[in-house]
Structures are given as structure tokens and as C-alpha cells.
Amino acid sequence: GAGVSQSPSNKVTEKGKDVELRCDPISGHTALYWYRQRLGQGLEFLIYFQGNSAPDKSGLPSDRFSAERTGESVSTLTIQRTQQEDSAVYLCASSSLDRANYGYTFGSGTRLTVV
């Protein structure tokens, strides 16, 4: 597609339930990133995938958070046993390593509300 697509756009879940968020990056973009944005705050890095390299998971806040990516395509971010503090917008971005076209392209995010 023309941009980064995230689904669902909104998700309301009960505390303790698991949720799965999906990201479809721009075709050909080898790098994919997940960020979390709490209300009125900046972007907090979660995880980074680059090709077949081991992902950089250094930003995942707890072992309840995990993410996978199939090759250079779709990624899913899973949050287990959701807590109220997980409520935020989860943003996915992809980028090319082409010097002329480098730069993150973000999706519109998934707004997660844990009640």
C-alpha cells in the first residue's frame, strides 16, 4: 500500500485480557518500529526489527509485551494481561535504508483503552 497501515484503529479491552495489534509496513521497507504514546506525551520506543537481524527489544516495558515480524512484512504487537497503564496510542513506523529516501513513515496508530 501507499502508507503504513495499522489495525484496529481503536481497541477497548478489559483489564487482564490479551490484545494483538497489527502493522502493515510500506512494501520494501526493511526496518519496522513500534512506539507507544501516552496521552499528551512523547513517543516511547518499544521494539525495532531490521531484516533478518535479531530485533532490538530494549524498549519493551515488561514481559507482558512481545512482538513478531514475518520476514519484511506484517508485524504484530501482543500485550498480555493488559493493565490500565497500558492505555495509550501504539504507533508503528517503517523505513527504507535507501539514503535518498530514509526517514520513518508512521501509521495512524492504534488507540488502546484498558477499562
Partner 1 sequence: GENVEQHPSTLSVQEGDSAVIKCTYSDSASNYFPWYKQELGKGPQLIIDIRSNVGEKKDQRIAVTLNKTAKHFSLHITETQPEDSAVYFCAASRAEYGNKLVFGAGTILRVKS
Which positions lie near partner 1, rule CB under 8 A?
A: 4, 30-31, 33, 35, 41-45, 48, 50, 56, 59, 91, 93, 95, 97, 99, 102-109
Q: For strand 10-13 and strand 110-114, is the pairing parallel, antiparallel, or unpaired?
A: parallel
Q: Which is nearer to partner 1, 18 or 73 (CB)?
A: 73
CB of 55 vs partner 1, minimal distance in Å: 11
Q: Cis omega (within 30 of 0) on the bond before 25? A: no
Q: How far is the first Cα of the chain from the last one, in angstroms, to the nearest whole number?
A: 33
Q: How many alpha carbons fall within 13 Å on the CB side of residue 14?
A: 1
CB of 34 vs partner 1, minimal distance in Å: 10
CB of 51 vs partner 1, minimal distance in Å: 9
Q: What are phi and psi of 46, to 5 degrees?
A: -110, -60
Q: Which is nearer to partner 1, 17 or 56 (CB)?
A: 56
